Amino acid sequence: MPKTASVSPRPALATDLMTSLGELLRQWLPRQRWFAGKDRPVSELGLLSMTELFPGCLHLLVHTGHGGVPGPGGASAGDCYQLLLGVRKNLSPRLGRALIGRAERGPLAGLTIYDALHDPRSAQLLLERLRHPGTAGPLRFEGDPSVPVPAGLPPRLLETEQSNSSLVYGDEFILKVFRRIQPGVNPDLEVPVALAGQGCRRVPAPVAWFRTTHPQGATLGVLQPYLRDASDGWALALQALASGDDFTVQAHELGRAMAEVHLALAAAFPGSGHDDNGSTAAAMTERLNSAAHSVPALRPFVPGLQSAFGALATCDSGPPAQRVHGDLHLGQVLRAGREWFVIDFEGEPSRPLVERCAAQSPVRDIAGMLRSFDYAARQRRPWRPEWARRCREAFCGGYAALAGWDPRKKHGLLRAYETDRAVYEVLYEARHRPDWLPVPMAAIERLAVRGD
Ligand SMILES: Nc1ncnc2c1ncn2[C@@H]1O[C@H](COP(=O)(O)OP(=O)(O)O)[C@@H](O)[C@H]1O
Ligand SMILES: [Mg+2]
């Protein structure tokens, strides 16, 4: 066999595939940034489906469990992950970073297993699959026939991968390969398709996607136009802060862009009605109490923060509930040319899909962005809270100019949603980056004491 030959197991061998892969994946999965159960050993690992996508590349959906122990932030005791595994006799050194390990037993014994998304050849073949709608086992490859995707676009894997893996093809398209899979249509496909149907140009429209029909229907990946020369809002905000530049013009335009997206979302998903502020406030209070239980620094502020939620419960109804972005911050917006674009409509991946797709107050998104300006202004000492305040003001002004209502005039709603977000941040920082705890705590203090 040539040194780099691809090797595939026969489908009949799929059942004992985990004899080959089980131990390797148990070690490898927790090291991946997109793996949700990092701090817990993978005690259960099961194969849900296996498809030979092309020779030398296996598509797997696996179930992982942690002995029934639920994870932090609501991560469930069990999850489903999508893997594309390369199988070769030997791995070339340039793919060293993709190595998962050498199988010792079972049908793949003696072969090297690696993450195929790092392999340009596999990435190219995956694009070929997407260019030609069709099926492979339980997998369905579909697309918008009106948008031609050229053959042979050179792939590169984005290094910034976080909760998913993204491949850029020839700076023309970007394929987001979802890692943690939940049953149903992923909102990152559903929402951009619906917004494109509304003629909304703020969101790159999907051109091809793939999904599985087994074990349950679920979206697995989405190909969209790649915005060349785009910078994300977070990088731009930090740049402006570092050079002492004003960012209010960009923030105002971002507010307008977000209002445009919210209007298009309301039109694309009509009939959502009003949020029940009482039950939203109750859920926020519960999250606060549970966070205060884990983070002692939060406790002195609990009564002040509870008053924010109490005020929400008695607020007049506010803007109607609607489909929202769900995880809006400066890292989820891109600026290309002089235009803002909004990406990543998945919502918070740790929340169940039904919750993420439910109608919510658009104030939730606005609060997310306002908190993000504050985070940017506190990345380096000296902190620049006045920079954040000006950006927040400009963002709300831009939003109000188009939306028909002004977030600044919904003080009670905004305070409650910002508080809820800041409580989430406190919990996150306490767990993962204790040095950063002072950043959300500064907001907690402001929201609890002054509430402005
Ligand atoms: N259409 C696009 N054009 C250019 N870059 C993009 C595009 N979509 C995503 N990106 C880049 O990929 C990164 C991650 O994308 P995102 O959809 O937010 O994935 P994740 O769910 O992993 O956060 C973004 O921060 C951005 O840098
Ligand atoms: Mg993102």
pLDDT digits (tens, 9 = 90+) for 174-214: 999 999 999 999 999 999 999 999 999 999 999 999 999 98
For residue 281, name the pLDDT band (cuts at 50, 70, 90): very high
Residue whose Cα lies nearest atom 14 of ligand 1: it is 161
Ligand 1 pocket, mutate which of 163, 174, 177 (most atoms under 8 A from CB): 174
Q: What pLDDT is attached to residue 76?
A: 53
Of residues 315 and 220, which shows the higher confidence score? Answer: 220
Axis crossing angle, helix 385-403 with helix 363-377, rounded to the nearest 10? 150
Is residue 317 pLDDT above 80, yes or no?
no
227 Cβ below 6 A of ligand 1: yes
Nearest to 317 by CA among 278, 286, 287: 278
Is residue 220 pLDDT above 60, yes or no?
yes
CA-225 nearest atom, ligand 1: 1
Is residue 305 pLDDT above 90, yes or no?
yes
Query: In sequence order, which residues have a C-beta less than 8 Å from that of residue 88 and are 6 or more positions away?
Result: 4, 5, 6, 7, 56, 111, 112, 114
Specify the residue for token string 């985070």. 375
Is residue 126 pLDDT above 60, yes or no?
yes
Ligand 2 geometric centre to CA of 366 (Å) = 16
Is residue 331 pLDDT above 80, yes or no?
yes
Average pLDDT over the chain, rounded to whole? 91
Per-domain residue ranges of the chain: 11-125, 139-147+154-225, 231-449
CA-228 nearest atom, ligand 1: 4
162 Cβ below 6 A of ligand 1: yes
- Residue 317: CA atoms inside 13 Å, Cβ hemisphere, count? 8
- CB–CB of 336/230 below 8 Å? yes
Is residue 228 pLDDT above 80, yes or no?
yes
Global model pTM greater than 0.75: yes
Q: List the shell of residues around ion ligand 2, using CB closer than 5 Å.
A: 344
176 Cβ below 6 A of ligand 1: yes
CATH of the structural domain 231-449, one choice from 3.30.70.270, 3.40.720.10, 3.90.1200.10, 3.40.50.920: 3.90.1200.10
Residue whose Cα lies nearest atom 12 of ligand 1: it is 166
Is residue 71 pLDDT above 80, yes or no?
no
Q: What pLDDT is attached to residue 7?
A: 45
224 Cβ below 6 A of ligand 1: yes
Amino acid at 16: D
130 Cβ below 6 A of ligand 1: no
For residue 74, name the pLDDT band (cuts at 50, 70, 90): very low
Q: What pLDDT is attached to residue 195?
A: 98
45-49, 77-81, 141-145, 349-353: which has the minimum mean pLDDT? 349-353
**CA of 206, nearest ligand number:** 1
Residue whose Cα lies nearest atom 16 of ligand 1: it is 344
* Mean pLDDT along residues 258-283: 89
Is residue 260 pLDDT above 90, yes or no?
yes
Q: What pLDDT is attached to residue 216?
A: 86
Q: What pLDDT is attached to residue 159?
A: 83
Q: Which residues of 406-435 are buried (b: 16+ CB within 10 A; e: fewer)?
A: ebeebebbbbbbbbbbbbbbbbbbbeeeee
Of residues 435 and 42, which shows the higher confidence score? Answer: 435
Is residue 35 pLDDT above 80, yes or no?
yes
Q: What pLDDT is attached to residue 4?
A: 36
Q: How far apart are CA 13 and CA 411, in angstroms?
A: 62
Q: What pLDDT is attached to residue 13?
A: 56
For residue 273, name the pLDDT band (cuts at 50, 70, 90): low
172 Cβ below 6 A of ligand 1: no
φ, ψ of residue 68 in degrees (nearest 5) = 80, 5
Architecture of domain 139-147+154-225: 2-Layer Sandwich (3.30)
What percentage of the chain carries pLDDT values higher than 70? 92
Is residue 371 pLDDT above 50, yes or no?
yes
Q: What pLDDT is attached to residue 348?
A: 83
Q: What pLDDT is attached to residue 80?
A: 94
Is residue 398 pLDDT above 50, yes or no?
yes
What percentage of the chain carries pLDDT values higher than 90? 83
CA dihedral 249, 253, 259, 262 (to 10 degrees): -130
Of residues 303 and 161, which shows the higher confidence score? Answer: 303
Is residue 75 pLDDT above 60, yes or no?
no
